[in-house]
């Protein structure tokens, strides 16, 4: 935390116009980010199982009007990872001028499924409830994440309150998100815990539950089971050589979305595995994100 604050303090040092003119645009933006953003760290959004769950909120300083806001959920097959490790993934959104909410959630095997899903719902409800405090536009909240975080982003866009997964959260309803940006997220949870594409890390989210119980919960938190016509726009970015979360999971989701008439796009990264895409493909991915959000009225700069 101290290192992070120190970084923002350094970036806040004033630069003369002449000095800024000597910098390329990206470097000039980096030099001024501390002036442009306010960081609210370690904001408690919910308490569950005695754990205070926190988020970091990056909000624009230079405006008092509600801003488009990203809710980011980190990866790690629901048993690993931390929000601090996601900071570099937030930079393109900050450069774009968005507010960003970077969320932690309970991890297995200490906290078994569906704990992470419940936490994601609580975080989204909190961000919308605190819209005035953090200058959030509740009509322009986009959810995103990579791998397990992509799954949780899909959950927030696709699973209705009637499924009961948000029952432990304050508030009566979950806000509708403007769009989902899914980076190679799990769409078929049974497939990665008991199916042909089983991953040991994913199975740890279910601990030593009886097989039938684990399968019932896995189906309950699988986005593929909730495809219907009234969903928000969904963009998936997935490498076709992914051997962790199979590319076929993204293909099946978007075939179902097409059939239901949901605005959607599957961006295939040729020859790419589970993230760490080549530089040109990652740039292509973000260009596609901005185009997709603008096309579906969820953009903003």
The answer to whether residues 203 and 258 touch, using CB atoms and an 8 Å cutoff, is: no
Given a cut of 70, whether residue 273 has pLDDT beyond it is yes
24 assigned to some structural domain: no
The answer to whether residues 77 and 204 touch, using CB atoms and an 8 Å cutoff, is: yes
18 assigned to some structural domain: no
Tell me the C-alpha distance between 143 and 56, whole Å: 15
Residues 37-90: tens digit of each pLDDT? 999 999 999 999 999 999 999 999 989 899 999 999 999 999 999 999 999 999
> Which spans in the chain are helix H?
2-11, 17-21, 25-36, 87-95, 115-129, 131-134, 148-158, 189-193, 200-204, 211-220, 247-260, 279-295
Given a cut of 60, whether residue 284 has pLDDT beyond it is yes
274 assigned to some structural domain: yes
Tell me the C-alpha distance between 205 and 34, whole Å: 38
141 assigned to some structural domain: yes
180 assigned to some structural domain: yes
Given a cut of 80, whether residue 6 has pLDDT beyond it is no
Q: Locate 32 and state its tokens.
A: 């001024």
Given a cut of 50, whether residue 4 has pLDDT beyond it is no
pLDDT, residue 58, reads 98
CATH of the domain at 181: 3.40.50.1820
Given a cut of 70, whether residue 213 has pLDDT beyond it is yes
pLDDT, residue 13, reads 44
Tell me the C-alpha distance between 85 and 74, whole Å: 8
Given a cut of 60, whether residue 299 has pLDDT beyond it is yes
The structure's pTM equals 0.92
Q: Locate 20 and state its tokens.
A: 């800024």
168 assigned to some structural domain: yes
Sheet of strand 136-146: strand arrangement = 37-48, 51-60, 99-103, 67-73, 136-146, 179-183, 234-239, 264-269
22 assigned to some structural domain: no
Q: Locate 180 and state its tokens.
A: 């989902």
Residues 229-262: tens digit of each pLDDT? 999 999 999 999 999 999 999 999 999 999 999 9
State which residues form the domain around 116.
38-295
Q: Locate 272 and state its tokens.
A: 């790419």
260 assigned to some structural domain: yes
Q: How many domains does the chain have?
A: 1
Residues 94-129: tens digit of each pLDDT? 999 999 999 999 999 999 999 999 999 999 999 999
């Amino acid at each position: 935390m101290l290192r992070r604050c120190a970084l923002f303090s350094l970036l806040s040092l004033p630069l003369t116009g002449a000095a800024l003119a000597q910098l390329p645009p990206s470097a000039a933006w980096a030099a001024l980010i501390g002036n442009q953003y306010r960081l609210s760290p370690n904001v408690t959004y919910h308490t569950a199982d005695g754990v205070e769950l926190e988020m970091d909120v990056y909000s624009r300083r230079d405006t008092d009007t509600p801003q488009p806001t990203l809710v980011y959920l980190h990866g790690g097959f629901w048993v690993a990872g931390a929000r601090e490790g996601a900071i570099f993934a937030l930079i393109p959104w900050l450069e774009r001028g968005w507010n960003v909410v970077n969320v932690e959630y309970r991890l297995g095997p200490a906290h078994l499924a569906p704990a992470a899903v419940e936490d994601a719902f609580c975080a989204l409800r909190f961000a919308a409830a605190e819209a005035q405090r953090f200058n959030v536009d509740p009509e322009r909240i986009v959810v995103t994440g990579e791998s397990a975080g992509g799954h949780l982003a899909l959950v927030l866009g696709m699973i209705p309150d009637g499924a009961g997964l948000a029952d432990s959260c304050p508030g009566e309803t979950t806000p509708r998100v403007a769009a989902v940006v899914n980076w190679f997220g799990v769409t078929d949870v049974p497939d990665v815990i008991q199916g042909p594409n089983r991953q040991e890390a994913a199975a740890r989210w279910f601990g030593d539950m009886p097989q039938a119980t684990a399968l019932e919960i896995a189906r309950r938190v699988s986005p593929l089971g909730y495809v219907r016509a009234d969903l928000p726009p969904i963009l998936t970015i997935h490498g076709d050589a992914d051997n962790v979360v199979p590319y076929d999971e993204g293909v099946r989701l978007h075939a179902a979305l097409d059939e239901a008439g949901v605005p959607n796009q599957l961006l295939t990264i040729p020859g790419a595995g589970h993230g760490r895409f080549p530089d040109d493909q990652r740039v292509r991915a973000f260009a596609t994100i901005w185009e997709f959000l603008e096309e579906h009225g969820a953009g903003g700069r």
